[in-house]
Amino acid sequence: MTHPQSDLAIHGGLKAVTTEITNIFEWPIITHEDENAVLAVLRRGAMSGTDETIKFEEEFASWQGTQYALACNNGTAALQSALYGCGISVGDEIICPSITYWASALPVFALGASVVFADIDPFTLCIDPKDIEHRISANTRAIVVVHYFGHPADMDNIMAIANRHKLKVIEDVSHAHGGLYKGRKLGTIGDVAGMSMMSGKSFAIGEGGMLTTNCREIYERALAFGHYERFNETITSPELSPYRNLPLGGYKYRMHQLSSVVGRVQLKYYDARVAEIRRAMNFFWDELIDVPGLHAHRVNEEGYNTMAGWYMPHGLYTPSELGGLSVTRFAEAVRAEGSHCTPGTNKPLHLHPLLTEADVYGHDRPTRIAHASRNLIREQGSLPVAEQISTLTFGIPWFKKFDHGIISEHAKAFRKVAAQHKSLLDADPGNPIALTNWTSVNSD
* Interacting residues toward ligand PLP by CB under 6 A: 74-76, 79, 100-101, 103-104, 146, 172, 174-175, 196, 198, 209
* Closest separation in Å from C-beta 101 to ligand PLP: 4
Q: Which residue is nearest to ligand PLP (CB)?
A: 75
* Closest separation in Å from C-beta 217 to ligand PLP: 23
Detail the DSSP E strand segments found in 4-75.
68-72
* Closest separation in Å from C-beta 196 to ligand PLP: 3
Angstrom distance (rounded) from CA 16 to CA 407: 11
Order of strands across the sheet with 93-97? Answer: 68-72, 209-213, 192-196, 168-172, 140-146, 93-97, 114-118
- Residue 80 or 140 with smaller CB distance to ligand PLP: 80
- Residue 147 or 329 with smaller CB distance to ligand PLP: 147
* Closest separation in Å from C-beta 198 to ligand PLP: 4
Angstrom distance (rounded) from CA 275 to CA 272: 5
Q: At what angle do helices 404-419 and 257-286 cross, to 10 degrees?
A: 60
- Residue 81 or 104 with smaller CB distance to ligand PLP: 104
Terminal-residue alpha carbon distance, the chain: 25
Query: Residue 198: what are its φ and ψ, rounded to 5°?
Result: -70, 170
* Closest separation in Å from C-beta 146 to ligand PLP: 5
Helices (H), 339-401: 353-356, 384-388
Of the candidates 122, 107, 114, 180, the residue with the CA atom closest to the CA atom of residue 147: 180
Q: Which pairs count as long-range contacts for 353-360, CB under 8 Å and 24+ apart, including other chains?
A: 354/106, 355/105, 355/115, 355/117, 360/109
* Closest separation in Å from C-beta 443 to ligand PLP: 12
